[in-house]
Amino acid sequence: MKYLLIEDNLDLAAAVGDRMRLDGHVVDHAPTLGDGADYLNVGEYDLILLDIMLPDGDGRRFLERHRAAQNDTPVIVLTARSEVSDRVGMLDLGADDYLTKPFDHAELQARCRAVLRRRAGASQTVIKRGTAILSPVASVLRIGEVEVTLRNRELRLLELFMNAPGQIFSKSKLVDRLFSYDDTVTENAIEVYVGRLRKHLEPSSVTISTHRGLGYRLDER
């Protein structure tokens, strides 16, 4: 998954980003609301982690504008405010969840997973397409009795395909979803990861097909 972290505390942002990357996620860090808006204008994110008190404004107004623009990207608010009225107000503005600082990183990761499951309309912790069953939390692909442990980007790429069967993803779109803006990478890297996934999926009833000039799609055989 690709996260946008809008947080001006550089130490906290570094700690959150490092933990999320260890879990296989891509994280772009914006220290101001303006930077956050710029990231959203040029890229797509699965989840936004939003601080409230930022140098250039109030995160609540950012959240309000985000929802008014019909942007349904999930938002988890990170706040030092513990009053019930503040939390209720943020939920009413469109936040999907909130976490009061200081927080445990394991709880933040669990809340991210829960919000993403709810947004996908599913409470299960696995994704099934044909005979392929993916467990994102365990980083395991199961086909019959065979289990394959996936590397981080293999996992995130397969998760992206399995969450949108039948949708064609261009190489540039996949680069955007799998890598942060700080990464130096070419579209050839996508060919490598797709090739690895195809080998893993060979015993299953699904495959990743190539659509010349368009990109890749997950199909059932």
Half-sphere exposure of 31 (CA within 13 A, CB side): 7
Candidate CATH numbers 3.40.50.2300, 1.10.3720.10, 3.40.720.10, 3.20.10.10; the one for domain 2-119: 3.40.50.2300
121-140 pLDDT, tens digit each: 554 578 899 999 999 878 89
| Longest CA–CA separation in the chain, Å | 55
What is the topology classification, in CATH, of domain 127-220?
Answer: Arc Repressor Mutant, subunit A (1.10.10)
What is the Cα Rg of the chain in Å?
18
Structure confidence by residue, pLDDT tens digits, 150-183: 998 999 899 999 988 889 999 999 998 888 887 8
Q: What are the phi and psi torsion angles at 53 (to 5°)?
A: -95, 105
* Portions of the chain given CATH number 1.10.10.10: 127-220
From-to residues of CATH 3.40.50.2300 in the chain: 2-119
